Amino acid sequence: GQSLEQPSEVTAVEGAIVQINCTYQTSGFYGLSWYQQHDGGAPTFLSYNALDGLEETGRFSSFLSRSDSYGYLLLQELQMKDSASYFCAVRDALGGGNKLTFGTGTQLKVEL
């Protein structure tokens, strides 16, 4: 089966850089996604890595190492509005690459 591990909570100060790690175990791997969710709201897509390396989108970057079954989300120049839950999700080979399995989420608290 699939399993994903990410820290349950991370705290950082405004303006800082924070890294949220995700390790996964899966029987077959297509790619790793990241989502942001504010309290009670719909998850919103941030990034997707299918290949090794770093993807940058504004203040957010995502990294993948397929050989290490590991990825991270990097948030730079933290703002108060970045306080939210962040989920990694694996798109795996079960179901022909059409299933996305989510981790349990990391709650990020940004403080002044």
Partner 1 sequence: NAGVTQTPKFRVLKTGQSMTLLCAQDMNHEYMYWYRQDPGMGLRLIHYSVGEGTTAKGEVPDGYNVSRLKKQNFLLGLESAAPSQTSVYFCASRGPGDTGELFFGEGSRLTVL
60 binds partner 1 (CB under 8 A): no
Strands 29-37 and 84-92, by their bridges, are antiparallel
Shortest distance, CB of residue 2 to partner 1, whole angstroms? 9
Footprint of partner 1 on residues 11-30 (CB under 8 A)? 30
Query: In the set 11, 25, 57, 98, which binds partner 1 (CB under 8 A)?
Result: 98
Q: How many residues bind partner 1 (CB under 8 A)?
A: 27
Q: Which stretch binds partner 1 (CB under 8 A): 21-29, 42-50, 52-60, 69-77?
A: 42-50
Contacts with partner 1 by CB under 8 A lie at 8, 30-33, 35, 40-45, 48, 50, 87, 89, 91, 95-96, 98-105
